[in-house]
Structure 1
Amino acid sequence: MNKSQMYITMPDAPLPVALPGGWTVVHQGDPLTVMGPESDLTMFFLVRPVTSDTEQLFRLAWQQAEPEFDLPVGQTVELPSTDGWDTVVQVSYSTPESESRIAIAFARMLNTRAYITLIDGTKAGFSRRMAHIAELNNAWKPTGLKEPSLAGISPKAFGEDEQKAMSSFVDWAMRHIGIPGVAVAVVQDGNTVYAEGFGVRRAGETDPVTPDTRFMIGSSTKPLTTLMMARLIDRGHFTWATPVTKVLPSFALADSDVTQRLEMRHTVCACTGMPRRDFDLFFRFRGVRPEDRIAEMKQMSPTTGFGETFQYSNYLVAAGGYAAAHSYAPDLDLGNAYDRSMRQLVFEPLGMQQSSVHGIHSPLDAAPHGRTFDGRCAPIDPVIEQFVDSSAPSGAVWSNVLDMARYLSCELRNGQNEHGEQVVSVDSLLARRRSAVRIDGKTSYGLGLLLTEQQGLAQVTHGGNTLGFSADMFFLPEHGVGMVVLTNLRAANLFLTAIGQKLIEILFEAESKAETILTGAKKALDNSLESLRKRVKTDPGATAWIRDYVGNYVSEELGPASISREGEGFRIAFESWSSDLGVEEQSSESRQIVLTSAPWLGGIKLQLTDDPDILLLDGGQTKYRFVRVGEKRS
């Protein structure tokens, strides 16, 4: 063992576990208690007998860990495990928004014992140390835990019976959880062996989803961006170790030393400590150019050290993609340079004829959707998806499952396209699949790719979420198998997990978990919506006090906002989109104005402050202030 490394012994576990750097042991007894480097995040580990009343189990655990803990349950999710546990239960708690706090509990059941992890800390702490939390939680391997492994098993051919099984499951799953449209493709041995569409392109209409239907793929764009970068490395434009400033001289962060240290690989490795600042993208994007996004980064700095922990930054990926594109088309502005680079270096060589960067939304494309308060899927204004246009390398690609299958085929053929042409060198392709930063014991991040091990199978993957679409793609390099799933609904991640699990069950005859995953996801969704409707009020009596906040506001980072009365209710308009408003009153001292329209559905809250002319939006590591300008309006 490394003598400078600190270790802890988890309850019932035969082997010690390494603490991530900077973490300390607060209490070695029951519960085992550790604290994060900034002292704003605490984890407790304890074991108790399994009981039929899980809520009581958690309540008693919290009473021992934090006797004053009295937060109400916000959402409970119960899911089967693919890691050897009998059942996994996750509970998130409703916390006062003014405290900027997150509290979560896990109970993983094994035979008669419940292995409980309690996590309490600031939103900023969670944002910085999420990977460390996952690493510690997943490192808990008590005696008796037997993780299933499919290693050494060869997959079956994805033939007619397998296709029918997949189609039947996808059709049931999308209807059960309520997703308007889905497209799925499977690649095996370099060939597309399955491609099907399900449902409709737009809720309430009849135009069907087909394999040709295009969706936004969100962050599944990132592997395509790093493939473009790899091709430019082959051509000698730069290397992964070239400083970003040598490729894009205008690039700079707030810290000049960090700016000089940043290499091209660092932009796409999620390993530099740059925090996620997606609110900056969501709220203000009209007329914003890629050059403007690059300029905004001069006010940003990492919040953890290089290689210290996984932090995901769309801004930084955008910078790397634009820098690479600039080296290819230096006479064009960054947006057009990236478009040309992707078209000429990725889409055309791979035969991805229907794929494009942002492009014009067509009626033949799937429409974006979000959920309403009653759980229905409703189309949202496609304009809102333009938030990603100025950070295109991180998530602006539109594609369909046929084109994405061609990309997967290239990965599985070690850089060759479907015609056998070597599009990218094996060395440059595989450099993207080397671990750059650890996420937990089984998962790490490479260069625009997640590297993980699921049930003994090495998997390379990357999902994607926009405000109205969810996507996933993965491939198993050792078995020549890949899958892509595209949907036209925000935050359909557990649905995507279930579909991926179904493929593993079909090909490897793994234990059946997919249906239970989906059923658990539906139950969690219903519980979440019920909790939301209890917490957030939209009736005229409850929302009447918003009248005191009617007026115009501005945020230095997020731009303008205007609260107005609409009939008996209230509405807020930002630069390019708007939402109905509700209220959440957690106490007499904690009141929030809540955005209730799809796709936000209570996920964005404006806190009241001591100053009636200032509203606060908590972004975790960044707090945004909306300041009233001009006179109050009634």
Structure 2
Amino acid sequence: MTLPNLKTLVSVLALTAALGGAQSFAQESEAPAIVQPEDWSLDQRDAVSILTAPEGDLDIAVIEVGPAEDAVSAAAAAWQAYAPDAEREVELTTPGAPENGWEERVAISYVTSPSEQATVNALALRQGEDWTVVITNGSQATANKRSAAVSRARDSVRAEGFEREDFSGQTAHALTAERIELLREFVAEAAERLDVPGIGLALIDQGEVVYEGGVGMRELGGTEPVDADTQFMIASNTKGMSTLLLSILVDQGALEWDQQVVELYPSFRLGSDETTQSTLVRHLLCACTGLPRKDWGFILADLDTPASDVFRQLSETQPTSEFGELFQYNNNMAAAAGYIGGTLAYPDMEVGAAYDRAMEELIFEPLDMEDTTFDFEQGESGNWARPHGLDVDGEQTVMSNHFNRAVYPYRPAGGAFSTASDMAHYVQLELSKGLTPDGERLVSEENLLARRERGVEVGEGVWYGMGLFDEEHWGVPVVTHGGTLLGYHSTWYALPEAGVGAVILTNADTGSAILRPFLRRLVEVLYDGRPEAMDQIEAAAARFDAQADARRQGLTIPGDPAVLATLASRYESPGLGVLTIFEQDGETWIEAGAIQGPLATRENADGTVSIVSVGPGVISLEAEIGMQDGTRTLTARDSQHEYVYVEAETD
């Protein structure tokens, strides 16, 4: 989701006027090295390397700047060398942890208008006195569609002489009590630094759960601690379990990975006849069919949407790239895979109920995952962790779980509640290649591992299989998947060669910043790596602070009364449903699907005006106010779609 724009900082051109020395230095330097993704063009001149996407509307430019006063000055000089006529205001600067040999890393975003649908940012990198800047500039849709290539190219820019740690071939240390405590201490310190109320944690070594427990509290200001049996929403970690269901069905002969989906579910349709007939079972899970992410389609939909609506939405969606060409993550495809699996297991039941029963009987019960459920009433009762997010002033606050009910109609893609203890049983299965913790064969090794076969590249050392990521970092193979909902961020890691696994569940949006540093800390503990993980936590804390300040300063809160007075009370959008504007407790509120909260307003760089929901949490709805044939409209956008609400008659 895009943070609101900030308009109070300096423009790029104003800075470049004072930086002629840095600009001159750059022109005398050699062009920096960068990995050229397949099908991208490369233009190198002097100290500038420009990669251009095949669509021609997105650049990644790498500029060797040389000495500069600071990161923003270095970026200004880089823009002068890359596109001297560009004029962009700096919106936000956020520091990053040292990485890839760079002593300082600063991300810079620039002001854009919603209708531009543009990605404009810079990454300023310093080694010694010299700066290198990576500029990404162009179409947001292309940047989203080609996110793997963008990531691969940016990550390839490294400081001169840098050599990454390589632990390949080394034997991992056992997770002794002392090493377990190092990991627990890291989690506790990270939680405190990032203001995460509670974390569930489990560790596995050589097939045994060597630690399961928790850090902190289930609710901010509460007295009930998180333990191994505290329920969290695990979001997209559900996907790997849904693909496990299909693996079991392959073992049973109910389906084949390379079978046409329409043979199993005749009413399945994907965009056109050609793509429908080309879609195999594995394509539902591979994030490689070219279907773009379309999460607003279910976030804004009515909460009582039936599970079968997944198939309607897919029938109206056309791929934006070829099968197998690019990584594009699509939740509806994963949801369809789970529902088809449930239907094959229990053909006489409604698709959602069939999936729930299949997961309970074929996965949760055999793995003794007794606290894992798709039932919100059960998940939100007893020992459960409440979701938390930053409010508009950057303060951590407990949130309603109302928003997360939007995932229920799509639950095979991310709707389960689970615990650190239950998730440890699942990771044990992954590490044992199909055996339950009791040693019983649940799924064949062949079909369990089929989910990890490397498909499309996601970034350097990262590939997507079928509902799982297969990765390699510092020479260490890792199987993983993460999960994100409002107020819940989690992941699990399996390190097959080390025989080690981990589960980490958090109940705050700021918990997202713990997940990757935790993997780094795990590797540090297992292989005596350089201590870098806590630097990443510190950088994340600074980033959250900067983002909170930018969000608040870019908005009029409460919303401008003159702007709010122009709004209709009810809007409708085909395929989504109703959006309402209403007064509550003296404030103007918005409700659309899972979005519910007070409204702010913002004037955009192009003179248009948007309304922005400002409830706590990282996800908010931004909609541009407009007119269409004399009728009031609100237009919301994601990277590849536009959702238009049109004024509707009130009852």
* TM-score where L is the length of structure 1: 0.93
Aligned to 2:430: 411
CA distance in 2, matches of 1:179, 1:278: 25
The reply on whether 1:552 has 2:570 as its aligned counterpart is yes
Q: Please report how far the alpha carbon of residue 497 of structure 1 lies from its aligned counterpart in structure 2 after TM superposition.
A: 1.9
Distance 1:289 1:577, change over 3 A: same
Q: Secondary structure at the match of 1:496?
A: helix
CA distance in 2, matches of 1:441, 1:165: 28
Aligned to 2:343: 326
Q: Please report how far the alpha carbon of residue 254 of structure 1 lies from its aligned counterpart in structure 2 after TM superposition.
A: 1.7
Alignment of 1:544-623 (within 5 A): 544-566=562-584, 568-575=586-593, 577-587=595-605, 589-600=607-618, 603-611=620-628, 613-623=632-642
Residue from 420, 433, 452 that aligns with 1:401:
420
Residue from 158, 174, 178 that aligns with 1:157:
174
Q: Secondary structure at the match of 1:613?
A: strand
Aligned to 2:10: none
Q: Please report how far the alpha carbon of residue 184 of structure 1 lies from its aligned counterpart in structure 2 after TM superposition.
A: 0.9
- Check whether the contact 1:285–1:386 (CA below 8 A) recurs between aligned residues: no
Q: Secondary structure at the match of 2:308?
A: helix
Aligned to 1:538: 557
Aligned to 2:237: 220
Residue from 457, 478, 503 that aligns with 1:459:
478
Aligned to 1:6: none
Distance 1:462 1:341, change over 3 A: same
Q: Please report how far the alpha carbon of residue 12 of structure 1 lies from its aligned counterpart in structure 2 after TM superposition.
A: 4.1
Residue from 467, 471, 477 that aligns with 1:448:
467
Q: Secondary structure at the match of 1:597?
A: coil
Q: Secondary structure at the match of 2:402?
A: helix
CA distance in 2, matches of 1:629, 1:610: 13
Residue from 47, 50, 62 that aligns with 1:33:
50
Q: Please report how far the alpha carbon of residue 109 of structure 1 lies from its aligned counterpart in structure 2 after TM superposition.
A: 3.5
Alignment of 1:116-515 (within 5 A): 116-140=133-157, 144-360=161-377, 361-490=380-509, 492-515=511-534
Residue from 517, 541, 562 that aligns with 2:536:
517
Distance 1:576 1:376, change over 3 A: same
CA distance in 2, matches of 1:90, 1:163: 34
CA deviation digits over 1:70-95, x for unaligned, max 9? Answer: 32333333223554444432222231
Q: Secondary structure at the match of 1:290?
A: coil
- Check whether the contact 2:243–2:467 (CA below 8 A) recurs between aligned residues: yes
Q: Please report how far the alpha carbon of residue 181 of structure 1 lies from its aligned counterpart in structure 2 after TM superposition.
A: 1.0
- Check whether the contact 1:321–1:393 (CA below 8 A) recurs between aligned residues: yes
Q: Secondary structure at the match of 1:301?
A: coil
Compare 346-355 and 310-319 and name the one that shifted more: 346-355
AA aligned to 1:344 is E
Q: Please report how far the alpha carbon of residue 358 of structure 1 lies from its aligned counterpart in structure 2 after TM superposition.
A: 3.8
Q: Secondary structure at the match of 1:409?
A: helix
Compare 152-161 and 248-257 and name the one that shifted more: 152-161
CA distance in 2, matches of 1:382, 1:394: 18
Distance 1:567 1:577, change over 3 A: same
Distance 1:32 1:336, change over 3 A: same
Distance 1:468 1:460, change over 3 A: same
Q: Please report how far the alpha carbon of residue 430 of structure 1 lies from its aligned counterpart in structure 2 after TM superposition.
A: 1.0
Q: Secondary structure at the match of 1:77?
A: strand
- Check whether the contact 1:432–1:449 (CA below 8 A) recurs between aligned residues: yes
CA deviation digits over 1:86-118, x for unaligned, max 9? Answer: 443222223122211121212334455433210
- Check whether the contact 2:391–2:397 (CA below 8 A) recurs between aligned residues: yes
AA aligned to 2:241 is L
- Check whether the contact 1:550–1:564 (CA below 8 A) recurs between aligned residues: no
CA deviation digits over 1:450-469, x for unaligned, max 9? Answer: 11111121111111001221
AA aligned to 1:599 is G
AA aligned to 1:579 is G
AA aligned to 2:309 is D
Aligned to 1:5: none
Aligned to 1:79: 96
Compare 304-313 and 374-383 and name the one that shifted more: 374-383
CA distance in 2, matches of 1:141, 1:369: 36
AA aligned to 1:218 is A
* TM-score where L is the length of structure 2: 0.91
CA deviation digits over 1:419-461, x for unaligned, max 9? Answer: 1111111111111111111123311101111111111211111
Q: Please report how far the alpha carbon of residue 265 of structure 1 lies from its aligned counterpart in structure 2 after TM superposition.
A: 0.5
- Check whether the contact 1:552–1:560 (CA below 8 A) recurs between aligned residues: yes
Compare 190-199 and 579-588 and name the one that shifted more: 579-588
CA distance in 1, matches of 2:319, 2:119: 22
Q: Secondary structure at the match of 2:64?
A: strand
Q: Secondary structure at the match of 2:454?
A: coil
Q: Secondary structure at the match of 2:604?
A: strand
Q: Please report how far the alpha carbon of residue 226 of structure 1 lies from its aligned counterpart in structure 2 after TM superposition.
A: 1.0
CA distance in 1, matches of 2:249, 2:615: 43
Q: Secondary structure at the match of 2:366?
A: helix
CA deviation digits over 1:334-375, x for unaligned, max 9? Answer: 111111111122111222121122442214211122210122
Distance 1:146 1:52, change over 3 A: farther
Alignment of 1:65-104 (within 5 A): 65-81=82-98, 83-104=100-121
CA deviation digits over 1:533-590, x for unaligned, max 9? Answer: 11112046x4432111142111113211111244553211224552101111134713
CA distance in 2, matches of 1:440, 1:204: 39
CA distance in 2, matches of 1:395, 1:441: 25
Q: Please report how far the alpha carbon of residue 416 of structure 1 lies from its aligned counterpart in structure 2 after TM superposition.
A: 0.8
AA aligned to 1:77 is T
CA deviation digits over 1:29-86, x for unaligned, max 9? Answer: 5422222122221111121225451111111111221223332333333223554444
Mark the runs of 5 or more structure 2 residues left unpaired by the alignment.
1-29
- Check whether the contact 2:95–2:107 (CA below 8 A) recurs between aligned residues: yes
Distance 1:141 1:543, change over 3 A: same
CA distance in 1, matches of 2:182, 2:594: 43
- Check whether the contact 2:100–2:159 (CA below 8 A) recurs between aligned residues: no
- Check whether the contact 2:200–2:420 (CA below 8 A) recurs between aligned residues: yes
Mark the runs of 5 or more structure 1 residues left unpaired by the alignment.
1-9
CA distance in 2, matches of 1:616, 1:301: 21
Q: Secondary structure at the match of 2:74?
A: helix
Distance 1:609 1:173, change over 3 A: same
The count of aligned residue pairs is 618
Distance 1:323 1:81, change over 3 A: farther
CA distance in 1, matches of 2:102, 2:277: 46
Compare 618-627 and 132-141 and name the one that shifted more: 132-141
CA distance in 1, matches of 2:237, 2:354: 20
